């Protein structure tokens, strides 16, 4: 075969095969395009089936209320005199509900923040928990919330997340654990979630907690009895009952009772909640008083405590009297502090329960905070001082109470009303003496022998408190560092845009605002510094007045009560803040 014949045959073959190959390519392109369209339609149908009928919440969120309802609601109905535990989380913290359910054994309402594909993760996580835990299926009601700009999205398979074997599925759910605040560019709206979890509950009492904390055993049953005896279902009573909060080393089991808590505290295996990250946030609970209180075995209010500006306790209260959370506070800082502030201004009295407590597994450390924590805290601090507190003056214009400036309070100034100091000291001394008299014969010698250094430290702490300085502490440098972190000062103010306040004002709905409130809202939208400044507390003036009154008001009660206070300190034998 010569060259020309070979070339001719080669051309003929290729002229035949080229269209065949082209047809095959077109077929495969059509097939895969059709398959992709089929998958897309299947995903859209799936999302439509599982995320339909969303309700608008405020101006920027969509909510699926009662996404999964506890079967107890339909089987036997809800007892209005019961207590509902209220909390919120992101999908990667859903597994904590098992621990909550084991301790609570009653109605729980959870709001889950689920933007984009988190909505599908939340759906499967909820299905796993309901399938694998009968108590969760019976008692927990879930609500799903996401920004309207970030609706549910199903862009990858999740079959490995939904294993038929419950033990495997639950472990996979735990392995997905993350931080609520770490939601990319979206600020975590914890106060919106708290309100969503609360507004639909059907009981007259609620218990507000974090998702990764666990209340003491039998608290729900004990508190329902206590509430009935105390008359807490009466909506005219403005009272909140605090469960002291602790954190325990991760390798320990949760304490079964108060005696176990005290033993673990003494051993250094347990400490007050946020001991390292925010020592002022739970300090008003008066842990030393709670340790020594020996009242009834039945649940009761052990003692009343004074409000402090940085206070953010876990509490039980009447559903209809406690105000909702202000939803402008997103991500880290002032989210719970602001609500406790409003409760104080509204007229609430705070009591600490005698035998109840709540525990977080693992010690918290400042180094583990997310990167944007400081910025978020400063921004929220600006909202708190410049907008939130002035609005309370309008909303509760007949109230004589107010929330002190965060920066002043965190430096240890103006902790109590000077005019009431004598009464407060007397009440504390009388309570401590009454408590310790019953135990003095049994453990006075033992406490003195085992803890001589603690007695010395407690005396030093009292002297520090009397002089309005920070208590003596081995970790003083870290506490001071945190104090500076949390302060709102001109040097670290964060600029806030008016757009942050255009949509969401203080009250849940605009219809609920009085004319006075609306007027103030408009004033703040205009962002006139002259108008706003007249509501701000002059910290230097407050401190100056405090120092002027200090010599007149403190000398007499201190001299009069010094022997009793020193006796109390020796008997108590505990270091403040342990």
Query: For 489-538, where are the alpha helices, taking DSSP H only?
Result: 515-526, 529-533
In contact, 56 and 148? CB cutoff 8 Å: yes
pLDDT band at 170 (very low <50, low <70, confident <90, very high): confident
Mean model confidence pLDDT for the chain: 74
Compare 432 and 287 and report the one with higher pLDDT. 287
- Evaluate if residue 85 carries a pLDDT over 80: yes
pLDDT at 44: 67
Report d(CA 8, CA 30) in Å as an integer: 34
Decide which of 77 and 268 is more confident: 268
**Higher local confidence (pLDDT), 416 or 105:** 105
Confidence category of residue 15, pLDDT binned at 50, 70, 90 = low
Distance, CA of 527 to CA of 134 (rounded, Å): 53
Answer yes or no: is pLDDT of 398 > 90. yes
CA distances from 22 to 8, 12, 17, 25 (A): 22, 16, 8, 5
| CA dist., res. 370 & res. 431, Å (int) | 41
Q: Residues 468-495: what's their mean pLDDT? A: 39
Give the residue, 32 or 526, on which the prediction is more confident: 32
The pLDDT confidence band at residue 520, using thresholds 50, 70 and 90, is: very low
Q: What is the pLDDT of residue 294?
A: 83
Strands 55-57 and 61-68: antiparallel
Token couple for 394 = 């309008």
Residue 519 has pLDDT above 80, yes or no: no
What's the pLDDT at 577?
A: 40
Structure tokens at 258: 């108060």
| Mean pLDDT confidence for 163-192 | 77
Candidate from 113-122, 342-351, 442-451 with smallest mean pLDDT: 442-451
Average pLDDT over every residue of 409-418: 36
Among 81-85, 121-125, 296-300, 535-539, which stretch is predicted with the lowest mean pLDDT?
A: 535-539
Tens of pLDDT, residue by residue over 49-76, are: 778 888 999 889 999 999 999 988 777 7
Q: What is the distance between the alpha carbons of residues 574 and 571, in angstroms, rounded to a whole number?
A: 9
Query: How far, in Å, CA of 347 to CA of 320, rounded?
Result: 14
Domains of the chain, by residue range, sit at: 52-211, 212-405+420-432
Of 70-74, 186-190, 204-208, 567-571, which range is least confident?
567-571
Q: What pLDDT digit, counting tens, does each position of 132-165 carry?
A: 999 999 999 999 999 999 999 876 554 445 556 7
Q: What whole-number distance in Å separates Cα of residue 5 and Cα of residue 283?
A: 99
Spatial separation of the C-alpha atoms in residues 146 and 150, rounded to whole Å? 7
The answer to which of 34-38, 192-196, 223-227, 253-257 has the lowest mean pLDDT is 34-38
| Residue 11: predicted pLDDT | 59
% of the chain surpassing 90 pLDDT: 44
b/e 51-78 (16+ beta carbons within 10 angstroms → b): beebeebbeebbbbbebbebebeeeeeb
Number of H helices, E strands in the chain: 21, 14
Q: Average pLDDT for residues 217-229, to the nearest whole number?
A: 95
pLDDT tops 50 at residue 376 = yes
State the virtual CA torsion across 181, 185, 187, 192 in degrees, nearest 10.
Answer: -110
pLDDT, mean of residues 27-53 = 68
Report the pLDDT averaged over residues 287-311.
Answer: 92
CA angle 6, 8, 12 (to 5 degrees): 115
Q: Give the pLDDT confidence score for residue 177 in this predicted structure.
A: 64
DSSP 385: I
pLDDT at 141: 96
Strands 205-208 and 83-89, how do they pair? parallel
* pLDDT at residue 234 greater than cutoff 90: no
Mind giving me the DSSP string for 128-175?
HHHHH-HHHHHHEEEEEEEETTS-----S--GGGS-SSHHHHHHHHHH
Q: What average pLDDT does this structure show over 459-477?
A: 42
User: What's the angle, vertex CA 149, arms to CA 146 and CA 155, rounded to 5?
Assistant: 75
pLDDT at 563 exceeding the cut of 50: no
Going by pLDDT thresholds of 50, 70 and 90, the confidence category of residue 476 is very low
Name the most confidently modeled range: 44-48, 326-330, 419-423, 566-570: 326-330
Q: Model confidence at 441, in pLDDT bands (50, 70, 90)?
A: very low
pLDDT number for residue 188: 93
Predicted confidence at residue 499, as pLDDT, reads 46
Q: Tell me the mean pLDDT in the region 469-482.
A: 37
Is the pLDDT score of 297 beyond 50?
Answer: yes
Q: What is the pLDDT confidence band of residue 436, given thresholds at 50, 70 and 90?
A: low
User: Given this model, what pLDDT does residue 166 score?
Assistant: 85
Selected residue with higher pLDDT from 171 and 563: 171
List strands edge to edge, sheet with 245-248. Answer: 213-215, 358-361, 245-248, 270-272
């Amino acid at each position: 075969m010569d060259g020309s014949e070979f070339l001719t045959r080669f051309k003929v073959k290729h002229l035949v095969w080229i269209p065949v190959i082209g047809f095959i390519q077109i077929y495969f392109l059509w097939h895969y395009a059709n398959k992709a369209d089929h998958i897309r339609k299947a995903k859209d149908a799936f999302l439509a089936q599982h995320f339909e009928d969303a309700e608008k919440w405020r101006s920027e969120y969509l909510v699926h209320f009662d996404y999964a309802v506890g079967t107890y609601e339909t089987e036997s109905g809800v007892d209005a005199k019961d207590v509902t535990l209220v909390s919120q989380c992101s999908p990667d913290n859903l597994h904590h509900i098992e621990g909550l359910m084991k301790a609570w054994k009653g109605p729980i309402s959870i709001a889950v923040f689920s933007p984009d594909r988190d909505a599908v993760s939340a759906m499967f996580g909820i299905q796993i928990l309901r399938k694998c835990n009968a108590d969760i299926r019976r008692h927990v009601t879930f609500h799903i919330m996401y920004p309207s700009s970030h609706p549910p999205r199903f862009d990858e398979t999740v079959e490995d997340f939904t294993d038929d074997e419950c033990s495997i599925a639950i472990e996979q759910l735990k392995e997905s654990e993350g931080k609520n605040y770490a939601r990319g560019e979206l600020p975590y709206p914890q106060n919106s979630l708290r309100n969503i979890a609360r507004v639909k509950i059907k009981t007259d009492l609620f218990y507000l907690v974090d998702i990764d904390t666990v209340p003491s055993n039998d608290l729900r049953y004990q508190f329902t009895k206590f509430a009935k005896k105390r008359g807490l279902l009466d909506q005219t009573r403005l009272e909140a009952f605090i469960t002291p909060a602790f954190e325990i080393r991760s390798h320990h089991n949760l304490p079964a009772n108060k005696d176990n808590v005290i033993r673990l505290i003494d051993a250094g295996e347990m400490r007050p909640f946020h001991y390292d990250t925010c020592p002022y946030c739970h300090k008003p609970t008066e842990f030393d008083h709670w340790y020594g209180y020996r009242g009834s075995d039945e649940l009761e209010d052990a003692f009343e405590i004074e409000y402090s500006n940085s206070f953010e306790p876990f509490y039980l209260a009447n559903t209809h009297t406690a105000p909702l959370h202000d939803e402008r506070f997103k991500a880290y800082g002032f989210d719970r502090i602001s609500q406790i502030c409003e409760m104080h201004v509204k007229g609430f009295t705070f009591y600490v329960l005698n035998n109840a407590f709540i525990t977080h597994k693992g010690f918290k450390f400042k180094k583990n905070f997310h990167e944007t924590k400081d910025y978020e805290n400063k921004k929220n601090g600006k909202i708190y001082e410049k907008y939130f507190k002035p609005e309370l003056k309008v909303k509760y214009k007949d109230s004589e109470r107010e929330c002190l400036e965060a920066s002043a309070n965190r430096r240890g100034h103006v902790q109590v009303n000077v005019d009431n100091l004598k009464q407060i000291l007397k009440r504390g001394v009388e309570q401590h003496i009454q408590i310790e008299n019953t135990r003095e014969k049994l453990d006075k010698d033992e406490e003195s022998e085992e803890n001589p250094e603690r007695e010395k430290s407690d005396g030093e702490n009292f002297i520090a408190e009397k002089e309005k300085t920070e208590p003596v502490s081995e970790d003083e440098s870290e506490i001071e560092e945190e104090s500076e972190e949390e302060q709102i000062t001109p040097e670290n103010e964060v600029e806030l845009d008016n757009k942050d306040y255009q949509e969401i004002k203080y009250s849940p709905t605009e219809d609920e605002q009085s004319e006075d409130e609306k007027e103030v809202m408009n004033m703040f939208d205009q962002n006139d510094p002259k108008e706003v400044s007249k509501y701000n507390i002059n910290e230097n003036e407050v401190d100056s007045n405090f120092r002027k009154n200090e010599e007149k008001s403190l000398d007499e009660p201190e001299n009069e009560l010094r022997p009793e206070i020193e006796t109390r300190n020796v008997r108590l034998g505990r270091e403040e803040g342990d």
